[in-house]
Amino acid sequence: MNATTILWIVVAAGCSYLIGAINPASLIARSRGVDLAGSGSGNPGATNAARVMGRKTGIAVLIFDVLKGVIPVLVFRWLAGPGIGEIAGFAAVLGHITSPFLHGKGGKGVATTIGVVLAVYPLWLIPMAIAFAIIFVWSRRTGLASVAAAIALIAVALVDHHDRELSVFGVLLGILIIIRHQSNIRSAYTSMRAGQFRPEHRQKDDASTSESS
C-alpha cells in the first residue's frame, strides 16, 4: 500500500463520514421547531420523521439517507477505484450511526446501507429485500426485519467469492447494522419469552425498538 492509496483512504473515509453524519430528519425537525429527539421513538431517522412530521417528510428523509450512501461510493470509486469506494460507503454508514453533529448518536443506518449496497453491488439488495419482507410480514417489526436483511447481506457476501475485498465489506457492513439493532433483538427476545411476540400486543413504548432507518 503506497502513500497515495493511504491518502485516498483517509480522504474518502473522512469526507464520507461527515456526509453520512448529516442528519436530514433532525435538520428538518429543527427548521420546523419540532423536538424530534423528544417525539415518537426519539430516533433521528425516516420512520420517526414520518411518524412525527408526516409521511411526505419521512419519504424525503429516506431519500436523503439513501443518497448519503450512494453518492460517496460513486464519487470515490470514480476518483480512486472500487476499494476506496467501499471504504467511503462504510464510513458514510458509520457517520449516520454515530453522527458527531448529534453528540455521537444517529439513526439505525439501514437507509444509508441500502444506498451503499445499491452503489457497490445492487444484486445483494434482492436477498436483503426478500429477508426483510418475510420477517416483516411475520413480525410486523421494521427493526427485526432490518436485522434479517443484515443477516442476508452477510450470507450473500460470504457466498459470493468472486471478490474477497467485496465479501469482507459486505460482512462488516451487515455486522455493523446488527450491532446497531441490539435493542430490537433484545425486545423481540423479551417478547418471545413473555409469550407476547404478536403485532397486536406491541406496546406503545416499543416504538423505539420496532423502527429502523
pLDDT at 187 exceeding the cut of 90: no
pTM beyond cutoff 0.95: no
CA distance 114 to 167: 16
Full 3-state SS string of 103-158: CCCCCCCHHHHHHHHHHHCHHHHHHHHHHHHHHHHHHCCHHHHHHHHHHHHHHHHH
Q: What pLDDT digit, counting tens, does each position of 124-167 carry?
A: 999 999 999 999 998 888 888 999 999 999 999 999 767 888 99
Q: How confident is the model at residue 207 (pLDDT cuts 50, 70, 90)?
A: very low
CA distance 45 to 211: 9
Q: What pLDDT digit, counting tens, does each position of 74-125 carry?
A: 999 999 999 999 999 999 999 999 999 998 888 889 999 999 999 999 999 9
- Cell 449496497 found at: 117
